[in-house]
A and B are shown apart, each in its own frame.
Chain A
Amino acid sequence: MKAHIRLSIAAILAIAPLASAQAEPTTPPAVSRQEYEQLLRQQELMRQEILQLKAERTIPATQPATTLTPATSPAIAPPNAAGPPVTQSDLDDLDHELSKLRDQVHSALPGSEHVVIAGDAAVTFSNLQHASSPSSFNAIVSPLILWEPTDRLLVTAAFDLVVGTDPTGVSSSSINLNIADASIIVNDYLIVGGGLFVVPFAQYHNHFDPPWIEKLPDAPLAFGDSAIGPGSEVGIYAHGAAPIRWLHAPFDSPKLVYDAYLANGPQLITNDPAAAGTLNFSDFTDLNNGKAVGGRIGFLPFPALETGYSVQYSQASPLGFPKTYVLLQAADLNWVQLCPQLGGVFTTRAEWIWSSVENTTYDPNGKLGFGPLNFGNYRHGGYAELAYRPTLSSNKILRDLEFVFRYDLVRSPVQSPGGEHEQRYEFGVDYWLTPSWVLKVAYAVDKRKVAPSENALFVQLGIGL
Protein backbone atom coordinates (compact mmCIF):
# COMPACT_ATOMS: atom_id res chain seq x y z
CA MET A 1 0.00 0.00 0.00
CA LYS A 2 2.77 2.42 0.94
CA ALA A 3 4.56 1.61 -2.29
CA HIS A 4 1.46 2.61 -4.21
CA ILE A 5 1.25 5.87 -2.33
CA ARG A 6 4.89 6.64 -2.92
CA LEU A 7 4.38 5.87 -6.61
CA SER A 8 1.35 8.17 -6.79
CA ILE A 9 3.13 11.05 -5.12
CA ALA A 10 6.25 10.54 -7.19
CA ALA A 11 4.14 10.59 -10.35
CA ILE A 12 2.45 13.82 -9.34
CA LEU A 13 5.74 15.48 -8.48
CA ALA A 14 7.38 14.23 -11.65
CA ILE A 15 4.72 15.56 -13.97
CA ALA A 16 4.90 19.15 -12.82
CA PRO A 17 8.47 19.88 -13.95
CA LEU A 18 7.93 17.94 -17.19
CA ALA A 19 5.05 20.17 -18.00
CA SER A 20 7.04 23.31 -17.41
CA ALA A 21 9.09 22.99 -20.56
CA GLN A 22 7.48 25.99 -22.17
CA ALA A 23 8.22 29.03 -20.09
CA GLU A 24 5.60 31.69 -19.72
CA PRO A 25 6.45 34.87 -21.59
CA THR A 26 7.95 37.41 -19.27
CA THR A 27 5.57 40.13 -18.17
CA PRO A 28 6.47 43.79 -18.68
CA PRO A 29 8.21 45.50 -15.75
CA ALA A 30 6.28 47.80 -13.44
CA VAL A 31 5.81 51.39 -14.61
CA SER A 32 8.58 53.63 -13.29
CA ARG A 33 7.99 57.01 -11.69
CA GLN A 34 9.40 58.68 -14.78
CA GLU A 35 7.02 56.80 -17.09
CA TYR A 36 4.17 57.62 -14.75
CA GLU A 37 5.01 61.34 -14.84
CA GLN A 38 5.21 61.17 -18.62
CA LEU A 39 1.77 59.57 -18.82
CA LEU A 40 0.41 62.29 -16.58
CA ARG A 41 1.89 64.97 -18.85
CA GLN A 42 0.39 63.29 -21.91
CA GLN A 43 -2.96 63.13 -20.18
CA GLU A 44 -2.81 66.84 -19.34
CA LEU A 45 -1.86 67.73 -22.92
CA MET A 46 -4.74 65.70 -24.30
CA ARG A 47 -7.12 67.29 -21.85
CA GLN A 48 -6.06 70.74 -23.02
CA GLU A 49 -6.37 69.68 -26.62
CA ILE A 50 -9.93 68.52 -26.06
CA LEU A 51 -10.83 71.77 -24.30
CA GLN A 52 -9.37 73.71 -27.19
CA LEU A 53 -11.28 71.70 -29.77
CA LYS A 54 -14.50 72.14 -27.84
CA ALA A 55 -13.92 75.85 -27.72
CA GLU A 56 -13.39 75.94 -31.48
CA ARG A 57 -16.79 74.42 -32.05
CA THR A 58 -18.44 77.30 -30.23
CA ILE A 59 -16.79 80.21 -32.16
CA PRO A 60 -17.83 81.72 -35.49
CA ALA A 61 -16.09 80.09 -38.44
CA THR A 62 -14.49 83.40 -39.52
CA GLN A 63 -12.78 84.07 -36.22
CA PRO A 64 -9.32 82.59 -35.80
CA ALA A 65 -9.36 79.87 -33.17
CA THR A 66 -5.99 80.88 -31.78
CA THR A 67 -7.38 84.12 -30.36
CA LEU A 68 -9.98 82.41 -28.20
CA THR A 69 -8.16 79.67 -26.38
CA PRO A 70 -4.71 80.51 -25.21
CA ALA A 71 -2.37 77.61 -25.41
CA THR A 72 -1.05 76.89 -21.97
CA SER A 73 1.72 74.68 -23.24
CA PRO A 74 4.17 75.32 -26.05
CA ALA A 75 3.93 71.65 -26.95
CA ILE A 76 0.47 72.21 -28.44
CA ALA A 77 0.54 73.73 -31.90
CA PRO A 78 -2.22 76.20 -32.76
CA PRO A 79 -4.90 74.55 -34.85
CA ASN A 80 -4.79 75.16 -38.54
CA ALA A 81 -7.89 77.13 -39.45
CA ALA A 82 -7.56 76.03 -43.06
CA GLY A 83 -7.56 72.30 -42.16
CA PRO A 84 -10.54 69.96 -42.20
CA PRO A 85 -13.25 70.75 -39.67
CA VAL A 86 -13.28 68.90 -36.38
CA THR A 87 -16.21 66.53 -36.17
CA GLN A 88 -18.01 64.94 -33.24
CA SER A 89 -16.39 61.67 -34.20
CA ASP A 90 -12.94 63.24 -33.74
CA LEU A 91 -13.95 64.42 -30.30
CA ASP A 92 -15.29 60.99 -29.40
CA ASP A 93 -12.04 59.42 -30.52
CA LEU A 94 -10.09 61.81 -28.36
CA ASP A 95 -12.36 61.14 -25.42
CA HIS A 96 -11.82 57.43 -25.91
CA GLU A 97 -8.06 57.86 -26.10
CA LEU A 98 -8.11 59.99 -23.00
CA SER A 99 -10.17 57.42 -21.17
CA LYS A 100 -7.76 54.64 -22.12
CA LEU A 101 -4.82 56.75 -21.04
CA ARG A 102 -6.51 57.47 -17.73
CA ASP A 103 -7.10 53.74 -17.20
CA GLN A 104 -3.47 52.97 -17.97
CA VAL A 105 -2.22 55.54 -15.51
CA HIS A 106 -4.69 54.39 -12.88
CA SER A 107 -3.88 50.70 -13.31
CA ALA A 108 -0.16 51.42 -12.95
CA LEU A 109 -0.67 52.83 -9.49
CA PRO A 110 -0.71 50.59 -6.46
CA GLY A 111 -4.20 50.64 -5.08
CA SER A 112 -7.63 49.18 -5.07
CA GLU A 113 -7.67 48.25 -8.77
CA HIS A 114 -5.57 45.19 -8.00
CA VAL A 115 -7.89 44.07 -5.23
CA VAL A 116 -11.12 42.21 -5.87
CA ILE A 117 -13.71 41.54 -3.21
CA ALA A 118 -15.99 38.77 -4.37
CA GLY A 119 -17.45 35.74 -2.61
CA ASP A 120 -20.93 34.48 -1.91
CA ALA A 121 -23.81 34.58 0.53
CA ALA A 122 -26.80 32.45 1.41
CA VAL A 123 -29.92 32.51 3.52
CA THR A 124 -31.30 29.07 4.27
CA PHE A 125 -34.50 27.85 5.87
CA SER A 126 -34.39 24.24 7.06
CA ASN A 127 -37.10 22.14 8.62
CA LEU A 128 -36.26 18.67 9.90
CA GLN A 129 -39.47 16.71 9.47
CA HIS A 130 -39.03 13.99 12.08
CA ALA A 131 -36.97 15.71 14.74
CA SER A 132 -38.16 17.56 17.80
CA SER A 133 -36.03 20.56 16.87
CA PRO A 134 -37.77 23.64 15.48
CA SER A 135 -37.36 24.82 11.93
CA SER A 136 -34.68 27.44 11.55
CA PHE A 137 -33.23 30.16 9.38
CA ASN A 138 -29.52 30.60 9.12
CA ALA A 139 -27.34 32.89 7.09
CA ILE A 140 -23.80 32.93 5.83
CA VAL A 141 -21.69 35.53 4.06
CA SER A 142 -18.37 34.39 2.65
CA PRO A 143 -16.19 37.24 1.35
CA LEU A 144 -13.32 36.32 -0.95
CA ILE A 145 -10.49 38.82 -1.19
CA LEU A 146 -8.04 38.64 -4.08
CA TRP A 147 -4.98 40.88 -4.07
CA GLU A 148 -2.58 40.76 -6.99
CA PRO A 149 0.49 42.85 -6.08
CA THR A 150 2.28 41.70 -9.25
CA ASP A 151 1.29 39.78 -12.36
CA ARG A 152 2.68 36.57 -10.92
CA LEU A 153 1.74 36.84 -7.26
CA LEU A 154 -1.77 36.41 -5.88
CA VAL A 155 -2.76 36.70 -2.24
CA THR A 156 -6.13 35.17 -1.39
CA ALA A 157 -8.23 35.29 1.75
CA ALA A 158 -11.71 33.88 2.30
CA PHE A 159 -13.79 33.51 5.40
CA ASP A 160 -17.31 32.61 6.47
CA LEU A 161 -19.41 34.96 8.57
CA VAL A 162 -22.11 32.72 9.98
CA VAL A 163 -25.18 33.34 12.08
CA GLY A 164 -27.60 30.63 13.06
CA THR A 165 -29.86 29.19 15.71
CA ASP A 166 -29.21 25.71 17.01
CA PRO A 167 -31.94 23.15 17.84
CA THR A 168 -32.04 24.32 21.46
CA GLY A 169 -32.92 27.85 20.38
CA VAL A 170 -29.52 29.39 21.10
CA SER A 171 -28.27 31.80 18.46
CA SER A 172 -24.63 32.21 17.67
CA SER A 173 -22.34 33.85 15.15
CA SER A 174 -18.88 32.90 14.06
CA ILE A 175 -16.05 33.79 11.68
CA ASN A 176 -14.23 30.91 10.05
CA LEU A 177 -11.15 31.50 7.95
CA ASN A 178 -11.11 29.14 4.98
CA ILE A 179 -8.34 30.50 2.78
CA ALA A 180 -5.28 32.61 3.59
CA ASP A 181 -2.60 31.85 1.05
CA ALA A 182 -0.18 33.29 -1.45
CA SER A 183 0.51 31.69 -4.81
CA ILE A 184 3.15 32.41 -7.43
CA ILE A 185 2.97 31.61 -11.12
CA VAL A 186 6.15 29.76 -12.04
CA ASN A 187 5.31 29.22 -15.69
CA ASP A 188 2.38 28.34 -17.94
CA TYR A 189 2.04 24.93 -16.33
CA LEU A 190 2.95 25.40 -12.70
CA ILE A 191 1.80 27.49 -9.74
CA VAL A 192 3.27 27.10 -6.26
CA GLY A 193 1.90 28.49 -3.05
CA GLY A 194 1.50 28.17 0.67
CA GLY A 195 -0.75 29.06 3.56
CA LEU A 196 -4.24 27.96 4.44
CA PHE A 197 -5.53 26.61 1.16
CA VAL A 198 -8.39 24.54 -0.20
CA VAL A 199 -7.06 21.02 -0.46
CA PRO A 200 -7.22 19.56 -3.97
CA PHE A 201 -8.96 16.46 -2.73
CA ALA A 202 -11.83 15.51 -5.07
CA GLN A 203 -13.68 18.46 -6.63
CA TYR A 204 -16.39 19.53 -4.21
CA HIS A 205 -14.59 22.10 -2.06
CA ASN A 206 -12.53 23.46 -4.92
CA HIS A 207 -15.41 23.84 -7.35
CA PHE A 208 -18.92 23.31 -6.08
CA ASP A 209 -19.50 24.38 -2.51
CA PRO A 210 -20.40 28.09 -2.97
CA PRO A 211 -24.19 28.32 -2.64
CA TRP A 212 -24.60 29.79 -6.14
CA ILE A 213 -22.68 26.83 -7.65
CA GLU A 214 -23.96 23.95 -5.53
CA LYS A 215 -27.33 23.09 -7.00
CA LEU A 216 -28.90 21.86 -3.74
CA PRO A 217 -29.19 23.85 -0.50
CA ASP A 218 -27.02 21.52 1.56
CA ALA A 219 -23.68 19.81 1.01
CA PRO A 220 -23.41 16.08 0.31
CA LEU A 221 -22.95 14.05 3.51
CA ALA A 222 -19.36 13.11 2.73
CA PHE A 223 -18.39 16.79 2.31
CA GLY A 224 -20.71 18.42 4.86
CA ASP A 225 -20.77 18.60 8.64
CA SER A 226 -19.65 14.99 9.10
CA ALA A 227 -17.13 15.14 6.27
CA ILE A 228 -14.81 12.22 5.71
CA GLY A 229 -12.46 14.22 3.46
CA PRO A 230 -10.44 17.40 3.98
CA GLY A 231 -11.58 20.94 3.13
CA SER A 232 -8.82 23.44 3.91
CA GLU A 233 -5.39 22.77 5.37
CA VAL A 234 -2.21 24.67 6.21
CA GLY A 235 0.82 23.80 4.15
CA ILE A 236 2.46 24.24 0.78
CA TYR A 237 1.28 23.13 -2.64
CA ALA A 238 2.02 22.95 -6.34
CA HIS A 239 -0.68 23.01 -9.00
CA GLY A 240 -0.74 22.94 -12.74
CA ALA A 241 -2.48 21.98 -15.92
CA ALA A 242 -1.03 21.04 -19.28
CA PRO A 243 -2.57 20.26 -22.65
CA ILE A 244 -2.06 16.76 -24.01
CA ARG A 245 -1.29 17.72 -27.59
CA TRP A 246 -0.66 14.19 -28.88
CA LEU A 247 -4.23 13.09 -28.16
CA HIS A 248 -6.54 13.82 -31.07
CA ALA A 249 -10.17 13.08 -31.96
CA PRO A 250 -12.46 12.10 -30.38
CA PHE A 251 -10.77 14.20 -27.71
CA ASP A 252 -11.17 17.96 -27.79
CA SER A 253 -8.38 19.97 -26.19
CA PRO A 254 -7.53 17.17 -23.72
CA LYS A 255 -5.79 18.36 -20.61
CA LEU A 256 -3.98 16.89 -17.63
CA VAL A 257 -4.32 18.50 -14.20
CA TYR A 258 -1.91 17.80 -11.35
CA ASP A 259 -1.69 18.82 -7.73
CA ALA A 260 0.72 17.94 -4.95
CA TYR A 261 0.84 19.27 -1.40
CA LEU A 262 2.37 18.89 2.04
CA ALA A 263 0.17 19.95 4.95
CA ASN A 264 -0.46 19.56 8.66
CA GLY A 265 -3.21 17.07 7.89
CA PRO A 266 -6.22 15.87 9.86
CA GLN A 267 -6.27 15.10 13.57
CA LEU A 268 -7.26 11.70 14.86
CA ILE A 269 -9.78 11.99 17.69
CA THR A 270 -8.68 9.64 20.46
CA ASN A 271 -10.34 10.79 23.68
CA ASP A 272 -13.98 11.42 22.77
CA PRO A 273 -16.13 8.36 23.43
CA ALA A 274 -18.62 9.52 20.82
CA ALA A 275 -16.08 10.19 18.07
CA ALA A 276 -12.91 8.17 18.75
CA GLY A 277 -11.37 6.98 15.53
CA THR A 278 -12.80 9.77 13.39
CA LEU A 279 -10.82 12.62 11.87
CA ASN A 280 -11.01 16.31 12.70
CA PHE A 281 -10.45 18.37 9.53
CA SER A 282 -11.36 21.70 11.14
CA ASP A 283 -8.35 22.22 13.41
CA PHE A 284 -5.48 23.42 11.26
CA THR A 285 -2.71 22.89 13.83
CA ASP A 286 -0.69 19.69 13.82
CA LEU A 287 -0.55 17.13 16.62
CA ASN A 288 2.72 15.49 15.59
CA ASN A 289 5.76 15.76 13.37
CA GLY A 290 4.28 13.65 10.60
CA LYS A 291 2.83 15.69 7.77
CA ALA A 292 0.10 14.84 5.32
CA VAL A 293 1.24 14.35 1.73
CA GLY A 294 -1.25 14.21 -1.06
CA GLY A 295 -2.17 15.09 -4.56
CA ARG A 296 -4.64 14.76 -7.34
CA ILE A 297 -4.43 13.78 -10.98
CA GLY A 298 -7.22 15.04 -13.20
CA PHE A 299 -8.01 14.38 -16.82
CA LEU A 300 -10.23 16.44 -19.11
CA PRO A 301 -10.80 14.54 -22.38
CA PHE A 302 -12.85 17.50 -23.53
CA PRO A 303 -13.63 20.78 -21.76
CA ALA A 304 -17.06 19.76 -20.48
CA LEU A 305 -15.80 16.68 -18.62
CA GLU A 306 -13.34 16.42 -15.77
CA THR A 307 -12.41 13.25 -13.89
CA GLY A 308 -9.84 12.83 -11.18
CA TYR A 309 -8.23 10.66 -8.54
CA SER A 310 -6.99 12.07 -5.22
CA VAL A 311 -4.92 10.58 -2.45
CA GLN A 312 -3.71 11.78 0.96
CA TYR A 313 -1.52 9.90 3.42
CA SER A 314 -0.78 11.14 6.93
CA GLN A 315 0.19 10.24 10.46
CA ALA A 316 -2.75 11.69 12.33
CA SER A 317 -2.45 10.63 15.97
CA PRO A 318 -1.46 13.05 18.75
CA LEU A 319 1.92 12.88 20.46
CA GLY A 320 1.89 10.19 23.15
CA PHE A 321 -0.60 8.04 21.24
CA PRO A 322 0.64 5.12 19.14
CA LYS A 323 1.41 6.27 15.61
CA THR A 324 -1.67 5.83 13.49
CA TYR A 325 -1.68 6.32 9.75
CA VAL A 326 -4.56 7.48 7.64
CA LEU A 327 -5.09 6.89 3.93
CA LEU A 328 -7.71 8.95 2.12
CA GLN A 329 -8.61 8.38 -1.52
CA ALA A 330 -11.23 9.90 -3.77
CA ALA A 331 -12.52 9.61 -7.31
CA ASP A 332 -14.50 12.40 -8.95
CA LEU A 333 -16.40 13.22 -12.12
CA ASN A 334 -18.04 16.39 -13.40
CA TRP A 335 -19.76 16.55 -16.78
CA VAL A 336 -21.82 19.44 -18.13
CA GLN A 337 -23.48 18.68 -21.43
CA LEU A 338 -25.84 20.52 -23.72
CA CYS A 339 -28.34 18.12 -25.32
CA PRO A 340 -30.23 19.93 -28.08
CA GLN A 341 -32.46 16.90 -28.60
CA LEU A 342 -33.64 17.17 -24.99
CA GLY A 343 -33.77 20.94 -25.01
CA GLY A 344 -31.29 21.74 -22.29
CA VAL A 345 -28.18 21.20 -20.26
CA PHE A 346 -27.44 18.13 -18.14
CA THR A 347 -25.00 18.31 -15.27
CA THR A 348 -23.67 15.07 -13.82
CA ARG A 349 -21.47 15.16 -10.75
CA ALA A 350 -20.24 12.17 -8.77
CA GLU A 351 -17.57 11.86 -6.11
CA TRP A 352 -16.56 9.06 -3.78
CA ILE A 353 -14.21 9.06 -0.78
CA TRP A 354 -12.54 6.14 0.96
CA SER A 355 -11.14 6.88 4.42
CA SER A 356 -8.98 4.34 6.16
CA VAL A 357 -7.70 4.88 9.72
CA GLU A 358 -5.51 1.93 10.54
CA ASN A 359 -6.24 -0.44 13.39
CA THR A 360 -5.38 0.98 16.82
CA THR A 361 -6.54 0.84 20.45
CA TYR A 362 -8.39 3.80 21.96
CA ASP A 363 -8.50 4.38 25.73
CA PRO A 364 -6.13 1.43 26.30
CA ASN A 365 -6.26 1.79 30.10
CA GLY A 366 -9.97 2.42 30.37
CA LYS A 367 -9.30 5.76 32.07
CA LEU A 368 -11.64 7.58 29.68
CA GLY A 369 -14.44 5.16 30.38
CA PHE A 370 -14.92 3.66 26.93
CA GLY A 371 -11.88 1.48 26.40
CA PRO A 372 -9.94 -0.43 25.63
CA LEU A 373 -11.47 -0.26 22.19
CA ASN A 374 -9.56 -1.66 19.25
CA PHE A 375 -10.71 -1.15 15.70
CA GLY A 376 -9.77 0.21 12.30
CA ASN A 377 -12.09 2.93 11.09
CA TYR A 378 -12.82 2.25 7.45
CA ARG A 379 -15.38 4.72 6.15
CA HIS A 380 -16.56 5.56 2.72
CA GLY A 381 -19.15 7.83 1.19
CA GLY A 382 -20.02 10.01 -1.71
CA TYR A 383 -22.76 11.21 -3.98
CA ALA A 384 -24.14 11.17 -7.48
CA GLU A 385 -26.00 14.26 -8.64
CA LEU A 386 -27.95 14.84 -11.84
CA ALA A 387 -29.39 18.20 -12.87
CA TYR A 388 -31.32 19.30 -15.92
CA ARG A 389 -32.01 22.85 -17.05
CA PRO A 390 -34.18 23.39 -20.14
CA THR A 391 -32.05 26.22 -21.48
CA LEU A 392 -33.39 25.86 -25.02
CA SER A 393 -37.03 26.29 -24.01
CA SER A 394 -38.89 29.22 -25.54
CA ASN A 395 -40.51 29.92 -22.19
CA LYS A 396 -38.35 32.17 -20.03
CA ILE A 397 -39.62 30.81 -16.71
CA LEU A 398 -38.93 27.26 -17.80
CA ARG A 399 -35.52 28.31 -19.10
CA ASP A 400 -34.57 29.61 -15.66
CA LEU A 401 -35.65 26.48 -13.81
CA GLU A 402 -33.32 23.64 -12.99
CA PHE A 403 -34.33 20.23 -11.68
CA VAL A 404 -31.86 18.41 -9.43
CA PHE A 405 -31.60 14.96 -7.89
CA ARG A 406 -28.85 13.69 -5.62
CA TYR A 407 -28.21 10.36 -3.95
CA ASP A 408 -25.61 10.47 -1.22
CA LEU A 409 -24.33 8.18 1.44
CA VAL A 410 -21.78 7.82 4.25
CA ARG A 411 -20.89 4.54 5.90
CA SER A 412 -18.75 3.93 8.96
CA PRO A 413 -18.56 0.79 11.11
CA VAL A 414 -21.71 0.74 13.26
CA GLN A 415 -19.73 -0.85 16.12
CA SER A 416 -17.38 2.14 16.23
CA PRO A 417 -18.11 5.36 18.17
CA GLY A 418 -20.43 7.48 16.06
CA GLY A 419 -20.75 4.67 13.55
CA GLU A 420 -23.61 5.05 11.10
CA HIS A 421 -24.97 4.01 7.75
CA GLU A 422 -26.75 7.03 6.35
CA GLN A 423 -28.12 7.60 2.90
CA ARG A 424 -30.29 10.32 1.40
CA TYR A 425 -32.37 10.91 -1.68
CA GLU A 426 -32.72 14.62 -2.30
CA PHE A 427 -34.94 16.30 -4.89
CA GLY A 428 -34.69 19.98 -5.68
CA VAL A 429 -35.93 22.70 -7.98
CA ASP A 430 -33.84 25.82 -8.58
CA TYR A 431 -34.98 29.10 -10.08
CA TRP A 432 -32.18 31.24 -11.49
CA LEU A 433 -33.03 34.90 -10.82
CA THR A 434 -29.76 36.02 -12.42
CA PRO A 435 -26.65 34.09 -13.48
CA SER A 436 -25.40 34.26 -9.88
CA TRP A 437 -28.63 34.47 -7.82
CA VAL A 438 -30.55 31.26 -7.33
CA LEU A 439 -33.59 30.32 -5.26
CA LYS A 440 -33.60 26.62 -4.31
CA VAL A 441 -36.25 24.39 -2.80
CA ALA A 442 -35.35 20.82 -1.91
CA TYR A 443 -36.63 17.86 0.06
CA ALA A 444 -34.32 15.18 1.43
CA VAL A 445 -35.44 11.66 2.32
CA ASP A 446 -33.04 10.39 4.95
CA LYS A 447 -32.37 6.80 6.03
CA ARG A 448 -30.12 5.91 8.96
CA LYS A 449 -29.27 2.61 10.54
CA VAL A 450 -28.40 3.77 14.07
CA ALA A 451 -29.92 7.19 14.77
CA PRO A 452 -33.48 8.22 13.84
CA SER A 453 -33.83 9.32 10.23
CA GLU A 454 -34.37 13.01 9.60
CA ASN A 455 -36.17 13.96 6.42
CA ALA A 456 -35.70 17.64 5.73
CA LEU A 457 -37.13 20.53 3.76
CA PHE A 458 -34.76 23.25 2.61
CA VAL A 459 -35.31 26.64 1.02
CA GLN A 460 -32.27 28.68 0.15
CA LEU A 461 -31.35 31.87 -1.62
CA GLY A 462 -27.79 31.54 -2.90
CA ILE A 463 -25.90 34.57 -4.16
CA GLY A 464 -22.58 34.89 -5.94
CA LEU A 465 -20.98 38.26 -5.15
Chain B
Amino acid sequence: MILARMFAILLPALTLTLACGCSHDSPAATAENAQTAAVPEKGGAQLWAENCSRCHNMRPPQSYSDAQWHAVVHHMRLRANLTGEEARSITAFLQASH
Protein backbone atom coordinates (compact mmCIF):
# COMPACT_ATOMS: atom_id res chain seq x y z
CA MET B 1 0.00 0.00 0.00
CA ILE B 2 2.76 2.42 1.00
CA LEU B 3 4.95 1.36 -1.86
CA ALA B 4 2.01 1.84 -4.18
CA ARG B 5 1.66 5.43 -2.96
CA MET B 6 5.35 6.07 -3.34
CA PHE B 7 5.25 4.73 -6.87
CA ALA B 8 2.15 6.76 -7.56
CA ILE B 9 4.19 9.88 -6.86
CA LEU B 10 7.54 8.83 -8.21
CA LEU B 11 6.55 7.06 -11.40
CA PRO B 12 4.72 9.98 -12.99
CA ALA B 13 7.58 12.29 -12.03
CA LEU B 14 10.25 10.05 -13.45
CA THR B 15 8.36 9.10 -16.59
CA LEU B 16 7.46 12.74 -17.15
CA THR B 17 11.07 13.79 -17.19
CA LEU B 18 12.03 10.88 -19.39
CA ALA B 19 9.10 11.12 -21.74
CA CYS B 20 9.51 14.79 -22.47
CA GLY B 21 12.75 13.96 -24.21
CA CYS B 22 14.95 15.86 -21.87
CA SER B 23 18.68 15.80 -22.26
CA HIS B 24 20.83 14.71 -19.34
CA ASP B 25 22.18 18.18 -18.88
CA SER B 26 21.65 20.04 -15.67
CA PRO B 27 19.69 23.24 -16.19
CA ALA B 28 22.58 25.61 -15.83
CA ALA B 29 24.87 23.56 -18.01
CA THR B 30 22.63 23.33 -21.04
CA ALA B 31 24.01 26.36 -22.81
CA GLU B 32 27.56 25.39 -22.20
CA ASN B 33 26.98 21.82 -23.32
CA ALA B 34 25.86 23.13 -26.66
CA GLN B 35 29.21 24.81 -27.05
CA THR B 36 31.36 22.00 -25.73
CA ALA B 37 29.58 18.97 -27.14
CA ALA B 38 32.59 17.95 -29.17
CA VAL B 39 35.02 18.31 -26.28
CA PRO B 40 35.50 15.03 -24.42
CA GLU B 41 36.75 16.51 -21.15
CA LYS B 42 34.38 18.83 -19.35
CA GLY B 43 35.58 22.24 -18.31
CA GLY B 44 35.40 23.73 -14.85
CA ALA B 45 32.34 25.83 -15.70
CA GLN B 46 30.36 22.81 -16.84
CA LEU B 47 31.42 20.70 -13.87
CA TRP B 48 30.51 23.58 -11.55
CA ALA B 49 27.06 23.89 -13.10
CA GLU B 50 26.35 20.16 -13.21
CA ASN B 51 27.48 19.27 -9.73
CA CYS B 52 26.27 22.29 -7.78
CA SER B 53 22.82 22.52 -9.35
CA ARG B 54 22.07 18.93 -8.42
CA CYS B 55 21.28 20.19 -4.91
CA HIS B 56 21.08 23.98 -4.85
CA ASN B 57 21.24 27.23 -6.78
CA MET B 58 24.76 28.26 -7.60
CA ARG B 59 26.71 30.96 -5.78
CA PRO B 60 28.28 33.54 -8.09
CA PRO B 61 32.08 33.28 -8.43
CA GLN B 62 32.36 36.72 -6.83
CA SER B 63 31.08 35.32 -3.53
CA TYR B 64 34.53 34.34 -2.27
CA SER B 65 38.21 35.10 -2.77
CA ASP B 66 40.59 32.65 -4.48
CA ALA B 67 41.73 31.11 -1.20
CA GLN B 68 38.19 30.92 0.11
CA TRP B 69 36.97 29.16 -3.04
CA HIS B 70 39.74 26.63 -2.54
CA ALA B 71 38.43 25.87 0.95
CA VAL B 72 34.80 25.83 -0.16
CA VAL B 73 35.42 23.41 -3.03
CA HIS B 74 37.53 21.28 -0.69
CA HIS B 75 34.46 21.10 1.59
CA MET B 76 32.21 20.31 -1.37
CA ARG B 77 34.38 17.36 -2.37
CA LEU B 78 32.80 15.66 0.63
CA ARG B 79 29.32 17.02 0.13
CA ALA B 80 28.90 16.89 -3.65
CA ASN B 81 30.95 13.75 -4.26
CA LEU B 82 33.58 15.38 -6.45
CA THR B 83 36.77 13.66 -7.55
CA GLY B 84 40.03 15.52 -7.07
CA GLU B 85 40.24 16.27 -10.78
CA GLU B 86 36.75 17.75 -10.81
CA ALA B 87 37.49 19.81 -7.71
CA ARG B 88 40.63 21.30 -9.29
CA SER B 89 38.79 22.19 -12.51
CA ILE B 90 35.93 23.83 -10.62
CA THR B 91 38.32 25.73 -8.35
CA ALA B 92 40.32 26.99 -11.31
CA PHE B 93 37.15 28.17 -13.05
CA LEU B 94 35.84 29.96 -9.97
CA GLN B 95 39.17 31.62 -9.25
CA ALA B 96 39.46 32.82 -12.83
CA SER B 97 35.91 34.14 -12.92
CA HIS B 98 35.89 36.75 -10.21
| Interface residues in chain A, defined as those with a beta carbon under 8 Å from any beta carbon in chain B | 24, 103, 107, 113-116, 118, 146-148, 151, 154, 156, 183, 185, 187-189, 191, 193, 206-208, 210, 212-213, 239-243, 250, 252-253, 255, 257, 298, 300, 302-306, 333-342, 345-346, 348, 350, 352, 382, 384, 386, 391, 405, 407, 409, 411, 432, 435-436, 464
Contact = CB atoms under 8 A, between A and B. Distances in A.
B68 A116 contact: yes
B83 interface: yes
A340 B66 contact: no
A116 B14 contact: no
A174 to B, nearest CB: 25
Given A148-B74, A350-B10, A436-B57, A304 B24 contact: yes
Contacts of B14: 335, 348
B42 A253 contact: yes
Contacts, number: 152
Contact of B59 (A189, A253, A298, A436): A436
B83 A239 contact: no
A107 to B, nearest CB: 5
A347 to B, nearest CB: 9
B20 A185 contact: no
Interface SS of chain B: helix, strand, loop or mixed? helix
Interface SS of chain A: helix, strand, loop or mixed? strand
25 contacts: A103-B65, A113-B67, A146-B74, A148-B70, A188-B84, A191-B78, A241-B77, A241-B81, A252-B24, A303-B29, A303-B51, A303-B54, A304-B24, A306-B54, A335-B17, A336-B53, A338-B22, A338-B26, A338-B30, A339-B17, A350-B6, A350-B9, A384-B6, A391-B27, A435-B60
Interface in B25-60: 25-27, 29-30, 42, 50-51, 53-60
A239 B81 CA distance: 8
B41 to A, nearest CB: 10
A242 B57 contact: no
Contact of A334 (B20, B54, B67): B54
B10 A298 contact: no
Contact of B27 (A154, A189, A336, A407): A336
B22 A337 contact: yes
Contacts of B75: 116, 146, 154, 156
B70 A303 contact: no
A118 B74 CA distance: 14
Contacts of B22: 337-341
Contacts of B59: 435-436, 464
Contacts of A146: 71-72, 74-75
Contact of B26 (A118, A336, A386): A336
Given A156-B75, A253-B42, A341 B21 contact: yes
A30 to B, nearest CB: 13
Contact of A346 (B13, B24, B68): B13
Contact of A339 (B9, B20, B42, B53): B20
B74 to A, nearest CB: 5
Contacts of B68: 113-114, 116
Given A148-B74, A348-B14, A188 B56 contact: no
The 10 closest A-B pairs by CB, nearest first: A188-B84, A435-B57, A303-B50, A338-B27, A148-B71, A302-B24, A113-B67, A384-B9, A241-B81, A337-B17
B64 interface: yes
